Chains A and B, each alone.
Chain A
Amino acid sequence: QAGTIRSEVPGPSQEHDGPESSQCSLHPFQVSFHQLGWDHWIIAPYLYSPNYCKGTCPRVLRHGLNSPNHAIIQNLINELVDQSVPQPSCVPYKYVPISILLIEANGSILYKEYENMIAQSCTCR
């Protein structure tokens, strides 16, 4: 009964979704391997930018958020059926790898590409 549901779903509004700045988005964040306690192990790079996703998920998930159908339905359930079911969460959508040069415990030197180490975009799901 999509038509029925649609009529009951309120449109996007600043009132419900909060100001634009607090909506789900990618936040740049940089950390050094020294801060992580791995500088005795990792030689390069010195800094690591994992970034993070933060913000509230809008009640109507716009196309650009790449939310799966499930997230849209979960939003509707929270809104219309049961508020104990949480709204979707703001989490990373795409990642990129990082290349690391490190020294192993036995003295070998290792170049390695680690997948999914840097958040590149966010989604609500």
Chain B
Amino acid sequence: KIGQSSIALRTEAPTLPLIWELLEEVPGKQQRQPRVLGHPLRYMLELYHRSADPHGHPRENRTIGATMVRLVRPSANTAMPLRGPWHIQTLNFPLRQNRVGYQLVRATVVYRHQLHLSRFHLSCHVEPWVQKRQTNHFHSTRSGSSKPSMLSKSWAEMDITQHIQQKLWNHKGRRILQLRFMCQQQKAGQVLELRWHGTSSLDIVFLLFYFNDTHKSVYKAKALPRGLAEFTGRDPPLLRRAR
């Protein structure tokens, strides 16, 4: 029945959490979405195997630090004109309202910090992108906890939890996080420039949002920093209980 009469089911089963989640998350069979392949899926499969055994039982010693992790890929990318040795792409990440009952504990951007194109070597990093006329500004990525940590030889992870607190509304009223994926080329070459414009960063830069289920961890929960409550779309659980 999912996808066909979800409204009717919602009214019939308003208190069944799993039914709610299925109605929200399960795509209809007829709406079979294209398989997400490549790096993001491989990354999440690794995360899964570190956190659960082959039967799906969560591992006792898992270090994930959250009960839910969402990987968000950029919806669009734009290659900027070449600036000396710098190759730059702007990436748009659509942010959606968090589901009630889940608390954001951390947000990171994961990206390839080493790229090889046409035998050329590029060193890459990610920066928040702010349009000139935009009034809301990011904090510097070079400060505090935003320094990238190397996950492996090929992946780097940078904490952007503070950035998520910003009100990132675009002119259409959607929440969009814009990041610049910047790669520095060791040797100049026209062939590489052409290759760069054809390179899609949609597969090599993505966001990870870590959430905890506040239904069961309400006693452990700390009050959210200002801004995260806005992102999650509700009051922190402790405030709600006090009220």
Task: List 13 contacting pairs A-B, 8 Å CB cutoff, sorted by A.
Answer: A40-B32, A41-B26, A43-B41, A44-B48, A44-B52, A44-B56, A45-B55, A97-B57, A103-B33, A104-B27, A108-B72, A109-B44, A111-B70
A residues within 8 Å of B by Cβ? 37-38, 40-41, 43-45, 47-49, 96-115, 118
Name which residue of chain A comes closest to B72, CB basis.
A108
Which 9 A-B pairs rank lowest in CB-CB distance, beginning with the nearest?
Answer: A99-B52, A45-B56, A105-B27, A109-B71, A111-B69, A98-B56, A113-B67, A101-B48, A109-B44
Contacts A105-B31, A113-B213 aside, 18 further interface pairs with beta carbons under 8 A come to A37-B29, A40-B27, A40-B29, A40-B33, A43-B45, A44-B52, A45-B52, A99-B57, A105-B25, A105-B33, A107-B73, A108-B72, A110-B69, A112-B67, A112-B68, A113-B58, A113-B67, A115-B216
A44-B56, A45-B54 as given contacts; A111 in contact with B44, CB under 8 Å: yes
- B148 at interface (Cβ–Cβ under 8 A)? no
Please, what's the 1-or-0 string for B53-80, where 1 marks a CB less than 8 Å from any CB in chain A?
Answer: 0111110000010011111110000000
Report how far A83 CA is from B216 CA in the complex, Å.
Answer: 39
* Count of B interface residues, CB-CB < 8 Å: 35
Contacts of A111 in B (CB 8 A): 44, 47-48, 51, 64, 68-70
- B18 at interface (Cβ–Cβ under 8 A)? yes
Contacts of B96 in A (CB 8 A): 106
Please, what's the 1-or-0 string for B4-37, where 1 marks a CB less than 8 Å from any CB in chain A?
Answer: 0000000000000010000001110101111110
B67 to chain A, nearest CB (A): 4
Are A49 and B69 within 8 A (Cβ)? no
Main secondary structure of the interface of A (DSSP, over half): strand
- B40 at interface (Cβ–Cβ under 8 A)? yes
Are B48 and A99 within 8 A (Cβ)? yes
Main secondary structure of the interface of B (DSSP, over half): mixed
Are A108 and B73 within 8 A (Cβ)? yes
Are A110 and B52 within 8 A (Cβ)? no
Are A47 and B71 within 8 A (Cβ)? no
Contacts of A110 in B (CB 8 A): 25, 68-71
Contacts of A106 in B (CB 8 A): 96
Are A44 and B33 within 8 A (Cβ)? no
Contacts of A109 in B (CB 8 A): 36, 40-41, 44, 70-71
A48-B56, A101-B45 as given contacts; A107 in contact with B68, CB under 8 Å: no
Contacts of A112 in B (CB 8 A): 67-69
Are A108 and B26 within 8 A (Cβ)? no
Are A103 and B35 within 8 A (Cβ)? yes
A49 to chain B, nearest CB (A): 6
Are A47 and B45 within 8 A (Cβ)? no
Are A41 and B25 within 8 A (Cβ)? yes
